[in-house]
Chains A and B, each alone.
Chain A
Amino acid sequence: MSILDLIRGNYRVVSVVGMAKNAGKTSALNDILYSAFDAGIRLGLTSIGRDGERVDVVTCTEKPMIYIERGTLIATAESLFHCSEAKLEVLEMTDYQSSLGRIVIARAVSSGNVEIGGPVTNQEIRAVSERMLAFGAELVLVDGALDRVSSASPAITDATILSTGAVLSRDMNKVIEQSIHRVHLLQLETLQDPVVRLLAEECLAERQIAVIDDAFEVRPVEAKTALGAGIKIAEVLDEHARYIVLPGSLVTKTMRDLLAASSHFKAVTLIVRDATKIFVDARDWQLFKRAGLSVKVLDPIRVLAVTINPYAPQGYYFDPKTFRRRMSEDLRPIPVFDVMEGESDL
């Protein structure tokens, strides 16, 4: 059983995201790539680009190279296109701009290493993925990100593979706790009520923090940043408040301020775009949950599998079998793969 087996036939656009650098994302990505090459599956490959990303056009060494086989499709920035070792046939010059140039969709005419720097926005990632499917890719892999720097999020892909590893902490318990917390967040309940969804989408589009009450009345909250928004929101809360829409990030301070400044939060649900917008650690999250705060997302993220890397670059490691067994038990039914071993524990 490989990660590819989980994807194949079920999902067309899949992202791979890491909880931190060196959590094993590249290994996970390569694992899927090699299995796909082995099975003769035609892949499309792109990544979530970042604003302000730079490349040294002379040496082309900023990003890790990824080996692709002949026939693989890629969507990458123009300046990285010219750095590729694999011979590429241009299929389309899109109008999507990144700081590394326009995004080019190309097909590898020969095998070799390439650098991938994809579009920056959700719509563009989705669009280039669809283009690659139209050009004949059976499956598109998106090298993703789970950080504040990226504006695009894995929520635009059909499913997500999360990479985690020993790098997070010397304490295995902490790694497990953080990873489970992250998976838990990624799988937060999706807001279903179509009317509230519509109102929330409108607030998000205007980047307006707002409270929605039981009469579906939207009360704007005047706060410039998420930081310090909690108190302002609390001022607007009353017994009729039902939802709080947060266009930016949800941080611990906001939740703490809410709790401290209002007694009306128990009936209220916080709404964010998707789980990548939440920056609250496991312990605080449990605290808020017990206090009665609930959070829902507009865009769900389907976690298909979790990969683990028991080794940390700092030099310490966990016992791979124990680490994988414990992660599997705690995450069931989500399968856990050890990228260093290449086998799952199912």
Chain B
Amino acid sequence: MKPFSPEVIKNLDLDDIFSRIVVHTPYGESEKKAMTPYGPEEATALIAELDNVERITELIRANRYAFVDMRGTFSRVKDLRGTFLRLKAGEVLVVTELFEVKMLSLTIKKLSETAVLLKGRLPLDATVHALPEVDQLLDPAGVGTPTFYIYDDYAEELRGVRARLRELEDQIMLERKRIRAGLEERLGVKVRPSGELAVGKDDRALIERLNAEPDLVYSAETYVNITYRLRGNDAIDHMCSLVEDLRAEEESEEFEVRKTLSQALRELLPYLEENVKAIGRLDLLAAKGYFAIGFDCVRPDIIPPKTGAAEGLASGVLEIFEGRHLKVEQQIKKAKDSGSEGGRYTAVSLGLTPGVTCITGANMGGKTVTLKMVGMLTAVAQYGLFVPAKAMRLTPRAFIYTSIGDLQDVDQGLSTFGAEILKVSEAVKLSCGPGLILIDELARGTNPKEGFAISMAIVNHLKRASAMTLITTHFDGLADARDVRHLQVLGLSFVDFKSVMLEMENDPGKGIELLKRSMDYRLKEIHSPEEVPKDAIQIAALMGLDEKILEEARKVLVTPRG
């Protein structure tokens, strides 16, 4: 299925959801970026993915230690895709690259041990398999140290060259030390460790002796000093030139070794890439698992769309039991944790069927949050994630469409109403498909009479469509139209206003808080048209509107138009 539009992602706060899915490796980051929602035709794949998440969640719960350990391993994983490209291009890797491949192989080994510890219960494509061939290639002596060097073991020639080099260097050093010690003893001077000796020019006697000394050579001179340097002897000179030759030989031997290693790694590359992919999968799956645990999520029950149903016959389920808008819930929680006066988050239950469902109810009754919550949970489920709810049943939607918030598009010179109509006409076009259409406050941007007429016509069109449409509205008549389901916010209907007002008299500033505390954000289904409770005036009272104005409003309400 194609990704949700940037507008839907913004309206449903999906970026907030993604920020809570925390991966630790560059490969996991790529997997996360590549996540797309599963559509109705991919229901089987979605169920399989949710199986994986369920399994990883159980594994995390039962093996906390192993997973924290794994997180530590993840944090050391580096992005070697550049090195892989170089290998593919036939290039010869340098020592630091070989070191990193070795580290990757050690990481793979460690993760494969974790996989064994978890008794092979990790999903197949997230199971990392050790690559003993790579380990052996880059750790020829099998010592298991996490360092790398072109080891002697790679080639007999290299070992020979190096042994000869070391021997020569040791001999040179010994010879130099011997000469230095001899000099110091003979002349009673101190030669610096670097092999240099500076003498003041006024010490003529010493200079004479030094000049005659075969083991010293004049090196540099200032106005007051002469610096002498230890002269090697012919033996040392000879050894030094041998060292030069051997170094060049060593260099070319090493290049041969790197070439051979690169060639061998090139052949193993498919396995390395497979493992890297598995690391990414495992990283993302674990992140999904931690998301499920951390935010108290449940597995959504995916109901595949009925096959064989006649074209256009509407079907599908979308039921949410105690769903939570995660961002709003976390904000309330944060406010509470930081000590400020916070409320509680009320979970909301509702079900949608193809056609139109309307939510009506009090201002500040959470209609918009509920609307967004439905979209958020649907999207989250279709990304193969657990959802913040007690339960959810869902037939994957082919699309999600939103018309939420202030739509005024100044760039295009559109008013709120113009922009909304533009959006809604798009939705009308899409509505023959099994999608989800979310419209906040339909036609609120124009005069009530015409607004109602337009809304009614739109609803009449959408209620026969395959898409599920959820609309929040203030027009009671809209919700009570035939074949439209009507959900109402419980709101303030069970509140004893007298006592609330009394409480407010004692503390007039407490209005908003009292309101939030008294508001019941849950929904009830209305089956027959009935008088909808009018809470607006009461809410205005709680918000502190002048008593005289409120009185006037009540009068106007009883006798409209004076």
Contact = CB atoms under 8 A, between A and B. Distances in A.
Interface in B93-107: 94-96, 99-100, 103
Contact of A30 (B95, B162, B194): B194
A207 to B, nearest CB: 28
Contact of A341 (B96, B146, B198): B198
B222 A342 contact: no
Contacts of B200: 320-321
Contact of B147 (A89, A319, A320): A89
Interface stretch (A103-111, A196-204, A241-249, A280-288): A103-111
Contacts of B190: 342-343
Contacts of B169: 110-111
Interface residues on B, range: 20 to 34
A34 B223 contact: no
Given A90-B147, A317-B222, A340-B198, A110 B99 contact: no
Given A31-B192, A31-B194, A320 B100 contact: no
A87 interface: yes
A343 B223 CA distance: 19
Given A87-B149, A311-B222, A34 B78 contact: no
Interface string B133-176: 00000000000001111100000000000100110010000000
A81 B149 CA distance: 12
A104 B149 contact: no
B252 to A, nearest CB: 14
B30 interface: no
Interface string B183-201: 0000000101110101010
B148 A342 contact: no
B148 A37 contact: no
Contacts of A343: 190
A272 B247 CA distance: 50
B244 to A, nearest CB: 11
A205 to B, nearest CB: 23
A81 B96 contact: yes
A263 interface: no
Per DSSP, are chain A's interface residues mostly helix, strand or loop, or mixed? mixed
Contacts of A35: 193
Interface in A72-131: 78, 81-82, 85, 87-91, 93, 104, 107, 109-111
Contact of B95 (A34, A90, A321): A90
A82 B94 contact: yes
B425 interface: no
A320 to B, nearest CB: 6
Given A78-B96, A311-B222, A317-B222, A88 B149 contact: yes
A183 B165 CA distance: 45
Interface in B5-27: none
B225 interface: yes
Interface residues on A, range: 20 to 34
B99 A93 contact: yes
A30 B193 CA distance: 9
A123 B96 CA distance: 23
A38 interface: yes
A38 B147 contact: no
Contacts of B99: 90, 93
B224 interface: yes
Q: Which of B165, B225, B250: most chain A Cβ within 10 A? A: B225
Nearest to A135: B147
Given A82-B95, A90-B96, A320 B194 contact: no
Contacts, number: 67
Interface string B236-247: 000000000001
A82 B146 CA distance: 19
Given A81-B96, A111-B169, A320-B224, A90 B149 contact: yes
A317 B150 CA distance: 48
Nearest to B227: A340
B149 A89 contact: yes
Contact of B165 (A31, A107, A110): A110
Contacts of A89: 147-149
Interface in A299-346: 310-311, 317, 319-321, 340-343
Contacts of B223: 317
A317 B224 contact: yes
A195 B370 CA distance: 49
Contacts of A90: 95-96, 99, 147-149
Contacts of A88: 95, 149
Contacts of B222: 311, 317, 340
Nearest to A82: B94
Given A87-B149, A93-B78, A110-B165, A34 B96 contact: no
Contacts of B224: 310, 317, 319-320
B261 to A, nearest CB: 14
B207 to A, nearest CB: 15
A110 B78 contact: no
A110 B166 contact: yes
A343 to B, nearest CB: 8
A34 B196 CA distance: 11
B370 to A, nearest CB: 42
Nearest to B172: A111
Contact of A38 (B165, B166, B193, B250): B193
A338 to B, nearest CB: 9
Contacts of B194: 30-31, 34
A110 B149 CA distance: 11
A62 to B, nearest CB: 19
A34 B192 contact: yes
Given A38-B193, A340-B198, A93 B225 contact: no
A101 to B, nearest CB: 9
Contacts of A320: 200, 224-225
A296 B335 CA distance: 42
A300 to B, nearest CB: 31
A110 B225 CA distance: 34
Nearest to A39: B193
A240 B166 CA distance: 70
A38 to B, nearest CB: 4
A93 to B, nearest CB: 6
A81 B95 CA distance: 9
Contacts of A321: 200
B502 to A, nearest CB: 45
A297 B51 CA distance: 60
Contacts of A37: 193
A65 to B, nearest CB: 14
B171 to A, nearest CB: 13
A38 B78 CA distance: 39
A104 B166 contact: no
Contact of A342 (B94, B192, B247, B250): B192
Contacts of B227: 340
Interface string B20-41: 0000000000000000000000
Nearest to A67: B194
B159 to A, nearest CB: 13
Contacts of A107: 147
A311 to B, nearest CB: 5
Contacts of B196: 342
A34 B177 CA distance: 13
B466 to A, nearest CB: 52
Contacts of A78: 96
B192 A340 contact: no
A317 B200 CA distance: 13
Interface string B111-135: 0000000000000000000000000
Interface in A30-49: 30-31, 34-35, 37-38
Contacts of B149: 87-90, 109
7 contacts: A30-B194, A31-B194, A82-B96, A87-B250, A89-B148, A320-B225, A342-B190
Given A31-B192, A342-B196, 8 more contacts: A85-B247, A88-B149, A104-B96, A320-B200, A320-B224, A340-B225, A341-B225, A342-B192
3 smallest beta-carbon distances between A and B, as pairs = A34-B193, A89-B149, A90-B99
